[in-house]
Amino acid sequence: MARLARLVLAGQAHYVIQRGHSGQPVFADDADCQLFLAALHEAAAAERVQLHAYALLDSEVHLLATPETAPALSRMMQALGRRYVSAYNRRHGRSGTLWDGRFRCAVVEPGLARLDVLRLIDGLSAAPGTGSASAGSSASTSPSTSASTSAGTRAGGHVDARLQNTPEYWQLGNTPFEREAAYRSLLAAGLPEERKAALRRAALGGWAAGQAAFATQLETSLQRPARPRSPGRPRRTQR
């Protein structure tokens, strides 16, 4: 069976996961993180992709991004990969690929699902060089001081002014103080493990992340699956 084309929609947020080859580290230290972020922001600006959140783990990268056009997300990731891998290889005296194939992503439904993905990414942590963290693990450093995630931009702390906040974040309060306090509370509460696992499955599988009605809407408009099919053969209709 031919592989489905990646599900990417213009103007919709996408939960992106890029994994290191065979689970190997892709960041050795903070200098690598800064190289990656510089390449990421440059590629995003060139391709007109809004970046909302990022988490740089030892062996994975997680992003929440909204492309202006459908092809823009792939072009951004390709440009990012070329620049960062080249810089990483030069810096560490190595050659060859760094990533485990192509990136994976899920189209994220506006509203609760988009806020959940934002919380999930900002809540991830694994300081480069200190060991890999599993996706969904709670932060080992304060969101206000961690440079490996974008949490500080919303929770108070290190602000990356190049990020675009989502409408769901703006709705958390009427003032910056209210929004930051509310978001810190959400990060502290965390997401249920089953919710984090479901969002990760959607991204790795290339499906929609949201309610069933959202997936149905996408399937109707795009005439293609937007969620995993039930196991087994489809039922035969009686004539």
The tens digit of pLDDT for each residue in 32-55 reads: 999 999 999 999 999 999 999 999
Residue 169 predicted with pLDDT over 50 = yes
Residue 158 predicted with pLDDT over 60 = yes
Residue 56: strand pairing partners = 61
| DSSP label at residue 21 | G
Domain ranges of the chain: 14-221
Residue 233 predicted with pLDDT over 80 = no
Q: How is 98-134 classified by DSSP, letter by letter?
A: -BSSS-EEEEE-TTHHHHHHHHHHHH----TTS----
Residue 136 predicted with pLDDT over 80 = no
Q: Residue 224's pLDDT is what?
A: 87
Q: Residue 141's pLDDT is what?
A: 36
Predicted confidence band at 222 (pLDDT cuts at 50, 70, 90)? confident
Residue 64: strand pairing partners = 15, 53
Average pLDDT over residues 118-131: 71
CATH: 3.30.70.1290, 3.90.850.10, 3.10.20.340, 3.30.930.10. Which one for 14-221?
3.30.70.1290
For residue 169, the SS3 value is: helix
210 vs 196: CA distance, rounded Å: 12
Q: Residue 132's pLDDT is what?
A: 39
Q: Which two tokens stand for residue 203?
A: 């991204």
The answer to whether the beta carbons of residues 187 and 127 sit under 8 Å apart is: no
Helix 193-205 / helix 112-123 crossing angle, nearest 10 deg: 100
pTM value is 0.87
